[in-house]
Structure 1
Amino acid sequence: MAVNLYIPPESEIHAVPGIEIGIAEAGIRKADRKDLTVFQLAPGTLVAGVFTQNRFRAAPVQVCESHLMAEPEIRALVVNTGNANAGTGDSGLQASQDTCKALASLLGLNSQQILPFSTGVILEPLPVDRLIAALPQAIASSKADNWFEAAHAIMTTDTLPKIVSRRMELGGKTVTITGISKGAGMIRPNMATMLGYLGTDAGIGPALLKDMTRAIANRSFNRITVDGDTSTNDSFIIMATGQSGLNIDSSKDPHFAALFDALADAAAELARKIVRDAEGATKFMTIQVEQAKDTDEALKVAYAVAQSPLVKTAFYASDPNLGRILAAIGYAGIADLEVSSVNLWLGDVLVASNGQRHPQYQEEDGQRVMKEAEITVRIALGRGDVAETVYTCDFSHEYVSINADYRS
């Protein structure tokens, strides 16, 4: 059950000039399911990516990293669902490379100009013959306004597609930003089973695009968690076609800040949609930590609370057993934390002040907030002026059921 996840109507989803998308049914895991997506990028498009730090990173992740390091002109992306091609050794690498070679042959490109992506079950061989056989179908269906279909085609346990799209005026040019993502479980990106693709027709210099992609990932996909598990396949890609006529090569450009913020906001919305559609989620929770000494300790506290199974199950039950939050703050790893300086709010309710139950706190006030579908937990550490926010969800019976039956 997704929590207040907005899906824009197709009339509000803008094609990005320079990007065409094709969809096919390859039968990777299940028949009669659109499970193969091909992005074709116009000449001159620049691409940057950030990937999982899981040491068991999947074969396609390794190939993407290799191709991007070679710095060719990336001209196509190929995405399959149903199989992660992770934990598959040399044969998995060969399958990803064969996929790139096959698509490159069909498009008249070099194989290093292709980036492959996979998502689905880990430790199973990728049926690469089926994937390659469906590539012509994907190419034949390519069109500029296929973002909505692509958002569906990259889903696994997602219940709803995640898509954002917007237009803005910059430097007298109309700039388009459209993106899609997938993910519902095994979510705590540590990037650089989450995939995110963001396209724009702004022109962005290659070094700048790399820096922007890393910074945007840190402001969006690196600020969410469902279950604390970093997938083997997490990948986030930005594609800048330059076809709007706006070109930015430096962070000193007068239009840089507006473009960066727009891209970052779109990525953050995609990231939050992953949490809203998390497996079995019934509550969307914002964990705000303030008055921290530095970013590291703010995030330690935020993630300790956001990933605590005891906290998450209490929120599912709407049970204001809020001592669990204090316990998570206490074990977050700040050795010199003065608990007498910590304050805790649940929504607009001050629960704990100076490290203990606030004298005016009433459990019925806490329960009132806990029953809401969207809840903010605010924690003031009393140590400095740094603030960070992490987004998460509750744990329900359905989360266990989905993951127990995932391969069925």
Structure 2
Amino acid sequence: MAVNLTAPTEAQLHPVPGVRIGVAEAGVRKANRKDLTVVLLDAGTHVAGVFTQNRFCAAPVQVCREHLLRGGIRALVVNTGNANAGTGEDGLARARSTCAALARQLDLAPEQVLPLSTGVIMEPLPVDRIVAGLPAAVADAAPGHWLRAAEGIMTTDTLPKAVSRQVTIDGATVTVTGIAKGAGMIRPNMATMLGFVATDACIDAKLMQPLAFDLAEGSFNRATVDGDTSTNDSFIVMATNQARHAPVTSFDGDAGRALKAAMLEVARLLAQAIVRDGEGATKFITVRVEGGASKDECLNVAYAIAHSPLVKTAFFASDPNLGRILAAVGYAGIADLDQTKIDLYLDEVHVAVAGGRHPAYREEDGQRVMKQSEITVRVALGRGAVADQVWTCDLSHDYVSINADYRS
């Protein structure tokens, strides 16, 4: 069960002018489930993407990168059930065939379509089923189908993930709506499993790619479930330029800051929803590292803690075996770390001071915090003024069961 996360309702999700979404049941892997989604974009939409840094990246990731370089993107085709990863040249051909099939229906060039896939790795993409399902997906396309799309991209997710916000810019109401999927194989490195954020804001085309990087860096790049970077991580940002305000040419002004803050809030909530719905998760954990000499060393320490199976299982058991956290700090790769300057906190409980157990710390206080569904681990390194954080979850019996039975 997801940690303090509920499914969104259609009423909570604002349509984005210039975006229509259609969903169909194509039987990509299993019958009678939404598994094929098309996103149709009006002319004039600017699109940018951030993708996995896994060198064994999936065929659709490779094709998306190629098509984005050409520009003029007008549609996305997304399937679940099959990742089309580890499929070699045949996988690339199948991804391109999918783009061509949708392009024919929409009277577009194949290069104006982005393909995205998620699911089982090293199995051929069933292009015939996808192509057969495209007419129904296109016919279903409507502005208000964000929740259907969130359902249509799920794999082991227990809940659809969708967030919507509105902000006023130059007197005009601007909408930001996004969806994401992911529950396992989550340690995004420039994106998430699949994430999409759209706005009707008018944004200068030159800002789109830096914006996508910044949104990913402030959200999905701070989320981890199990430390595994997927082959298919893709985060797509779309601006339809249909809102009635002066174009945003910089994020330094009032309008740019307000828009970026709204988009970052949507991206963060989606990233956190992925962690809250982590496979088998029972607890949502924020790991914050302060007093670092650089962002990289703060993140290295945070991820060492967040990825440690010993730490994660201790949280699942509500067992304050907190030496495991200190051990993770010690092997995080800071060669000149001075352990006598380290402080450790669980929420407000001061566990360790100057590298040793705090004289006032009581194990029952640590256990009280660890029984909570939401916990903050705070580490002070005493090395500088930099801080950063990541979001993670515990590691339960169910995580093993879900992944042992994933393909069955």
Q: Same fold (TM over 0.5)?
A: yes
1:277 aligns to 2:277 (yes or no): yes
Using the TM superposition, name which of 121-130 and 185-194 deviates more: 185-194
> Distance in 1 between the 2:370 and 2:64 partners?
43
Q: Provide TM-score, normalisation by structure 1.
A: 0.99
1:88 aligns to 2:111 (yes or no): no
The one-letter code of the counterpart of 2:280 is G
Residue 254 (structure 1) shift: 3.1
1:36 aligns to 2:36 (yes or no): yes
Q: Is the 8 A contact 1:227 1:307 kept in 2?
A: yes
> Distance in 1 between the 2:329 and 2:376 partners?
16
> Distance in 1 between the 2:317 and 2:79 partners?
37
Match of 2:407? 407
Match of 2:318? 318
Match of 2:212? 213
Q: Is the 8 A contact 1:347 1:375 kept in 2?
A: yes
Residue 85 (structure 1) shift: 0.0
Using the TM superposition, name which of 86-95 and 166-175 deviates more: 166-175
SS of corresponding position for 2:254:
coil
SS of corresponding position for 2:379:
strand
SS of corresponding position for 2:187:
coil
Residue 33 (structure 1) shift: 0.8
Q: Is the 8 A contact 1:119 1:193 kept in 2?
A: no
The one-letter code of the counterpart of 1:184 is A
1:222 aligns to 2:221 (yes or no): yes
TM-aligned CA distance change 1:207 to 1:320, over 3 Å: same
TM-aligned CA distance change 1:38 to 1:291, over 3 Å: same
SS of corresponding position for 1:407:
coil
SS of corresponding position for 2:298:
helix
1:256 aligns to 2:249 (yes or no): no
> Distance in 2 between the 1:357 and 1:36 partners?
54
- Which structure 1 residue ranges, 4+ long, deviate > 2 Å from structure 2? 6-9, 250-254
SS of corresponding position for 1:248:
coil
State the Cα deviation string for residues 130-181 of structure 1 (Å, max 9, x = none). 0011000000000000001110000000000001011111111100011000
1:166 aligns to 2:165 (yes or no): yes
The one-letter code of the counterpart of 2:49 is G
> Distance in 2 between the 1:262 and 1:129 partners?
40
Match of 2:339? 339
Unaligned 5+ residue runs, structure 2? none
Match of 1:67? 67
State the Cα deviation string for residues 33-76 of structure 1 (Å, max 9, x = none). 110000000010000000000011000000000001122x1000
Unaligned 5+ residue runs, structure 1? none
Match of 2:154? 155
SS of corresponding position for 1:255:
helix
> Distance in 1 between the 2:320 and 2:3 partners?
20
Residue 193 (structure 1) shift: 7.4
RMSD, matched Cα: 0.8
The one-letter code of the counterpart of 1:170 is I
> Distance in 2 between the 1:117 and 1:8 partners?
23
Match of 1:181? 180
1:354 aligns to 2:354 (yes or no): yes
> Distance in 2 between the 1:265 and 1:26 partners?
33
SS of corresponding position for 2:235:
strand
Query: How many pairs align?
Result: 407
Match of 2:391? 391
Residue 7 (structure 1) shift: 3.0
1:118 aligns to 2:114 (yes or no): no
SS of corresponding position for 1:77:
strand
Residue 207 (structure 1) shift: 1.6
Q: Is the 8 A contact 2:156 2:184 kept in 1?
A: yes
Using the TM superposition, name which of 17-26 and 251-260 deviates more: 251-260
Residue 347 (structure 1) shift: 1.0
Q: Is the 8 A contact 2:6 2:159 kept in 1?
A: no
SS of corresponding position for 2:278:
coil
Q: Is the 8 A contact 1:185 1:193 kept in 2?
A: no
> Distance in 1 between the 2:296 and 2:385 partners?
13
> Distance in 1 between the 2:328 and 2:252 partners?
41
> Distance in 2 between the 1:195 and 1:283 partners?
23
Match of 1:377? 377
Q: What is the aligned-residue identity percentage?
A: 64
